[in-house]
Amino acid sequence: MSNTIREQISLKCAEQDIPLVGFASAKSWDTPLFDPWVPSQFRPLAIWPEVKTVIVIGIPVSLPVVETAPSIWYHELYRTVNTLLDSNALRISTFLNAQGISSVYIPRDGYGSIVVLKEKPVAFFSHRHAAYLAGLGTFGLNNMLLTPQFGPRVRFTSIFTSSEIGSDLVMQDDLCIKCKRCVDVCPVKAIPGGDYPDGITNKIACATRSEALLKRFISPCGLCIKVCPVGDDRALFHRKDLRIYDEDKKEFSSFHAAWKHVRSYGGR
Ligand code: B12
Ligand code: SF4
Ligand code: SF4
């Protein structure tokens, strides 16, 4: 029965072109894997006591679009991926409910607005930790969950289900190569670059930048996910050579001109 449900969910995701899906037992939050760990009130069982398994789905943001960030193009992609995440997660929970398996979806962000986030830069549930426990990737110095397929260029959401589906294995090998490109590129020095927890992002600095960009319809910033060398998407888009991001490298001037053009739209 449980295997069948797992297979059916994986098939549903494939049908909806969702490339990443993983499963984590709700109980796995109760075994801290690093310190500080997810505070108890943020754990699935504290949020919905019936939950047995957390299903995590991931949809990528395309690298060539992220390369134009901050831009109206990335702003629109971000909004579209968010809508897809929410609607697909809702569809999966609806599908499970129709089979008599009570399930609920969690919104991909869940904070309301950037103004709210500046005062309280946390949401009631962390999808990064869910994706980590579901074996989809490991944390990088940029505080994002890096995946083998897309590095940090993937967004997540979760579905809580009362079905006992089992857990995928947490990924053991660190994907982050500690190159510190993310640290150096951040325009507001929000990423300390140290080990966890010293390396936790200065959330207010990052959110304040995001708020300024939103006024011009070109949020979020996303530079720290653009430059990360991890992810198979770099091969797909022929972006293994990271010198492309050095504005003084003349051989990449056609890319620089394209990015400049896109960046000149969508705001002042
Ligand atoms: C709030 C938020 C922000 C804030 C704060 C960023 C941050 N580092 O948390 C701002 C606006 C700055 C932001 C920016 C960005 N974000 Co954001 N953000 C979120 C959001 C909505 C909530 C995160 C959260 O609050 N989690 C809950 C708390 C409990 O977990 P936590 O913050 O990780 O807390 C840990 C520690 O800080 C500590 N802790 C926290 N509180 C406490 C309290 C106590 C008592 C203790 C002991 C410990 C402790 O322990 C926790 C566990 O280790 C999530 C979506 C979601 N709901 O998960 C997206 C999310 C994390 N963001 C995402 C992204 C991509 C970004 C950006 C790159 C922007 C962009 N979209 O291009 C930047 C990157 C910033 C960076 N380098 O960190 C993605 C990450 C995808 C990935 N592959 O990992 C997410 C998951 C959105 C999504 N649905 O995919 N974000
Ligand atoms: S999103 Fe931009 S401002 Fe925020 S941490 Fe990353 S590079 Fe810095
Ligand atoms: S840019 Fe380098 S240091 Fe930053 S998360 Fe990616 S691999 Fe790690």
Ligand 2 atom at shortest distance from the alpha carbon of 225: 6
Q: What is the Å distance from ligand 1's center to 126 Cα?
A: 7
CA distances from 187 to 100, 210, 221, 262 (A): 50, 11, 10, 20
pLDDT of residue 268: 58
pTM: 0.95
- Sequence-separated (6 or more) residues with CB below 8 Å from residue 89: 57, 105, 106, 108, 157, 158, 159
Closest CA to 210 of 201, 256, 155: 201
Q: What is the Å distance from ligand 1's center to 257 Cα?
A: 32
Residue nearest atom 52 in ligand 1 by C-alpha distance: 38
Q: What is the Å distance from ligand 2's center to 56 Cα?
A: 24
Structure tokens at 89: 């997660």
Instruction: Say which ligand is closest to the CA of 199.
Output: 1
pLDDT of residue 1: 47
Q: What is the Å distance from ligand 3's center to 221 Cα?
A: 16
Q: Is 141 in the pocket of ligand 3 (CB under 6 A)?
A: yes
Number of domains in the chain: 1
Alpha carbons 123 and 130: distance in angstroms, whole number: 13
Q: What is the Å distance from ligand 1's center to 162 Cα?
A: 26
Ligand 2 atom at shortest distance from the alpha carbon of 191: 5
Q: Is 179 in the pocket of ligand 3 (CB under 6 A)?
A: yes
Asked if 125 and 106 count as a contact pair (C-beta separation under 8 A), the reply is: yes
Instruction: Say which ligand is closest to the CA of 85.
Output: 1
Structure tokens at 190: 């929000």
Q: Mean pLDDT, consecutive 10-residue segments, the chain of 268 residues?
A: 82 97 98 96 98 98 98 97 98 97 96 86 95 98 98 98 97 97 98 95 95 94 98 98 94 97 86
Ligand 2 atom at shortest distance from the alpha carbon of 220: 1
Instruction: Say which ligand is closest to the CA of 137.
Output: 1
Which residues form the domain of 112? 1-268
Q: What is the Å distance from ligand 2's center to 101 Cα?
A: 40
Q: Is 178 in the pocket of ligand 3 (CB under 6 A)?
A: yes
Residue nearest atom 6 in ligand 2 by C-alpha distance: 224
Q: What is the Å distance from ligand 2's center to 169 Cα?
A: 30
Residue nearest atom 4 in ligand 2 by C-alpha distance: 206
In what helix (H) or strand (E) does residue 88 lie, and over which residues does it extend?
Answer: helix 72-98
- Sequence-separated (6 or more) residues with CB below 8 Å from residue 197: 35, 36
Residue nearest atom 8 in ligand 2 by C-alpha distance: 186
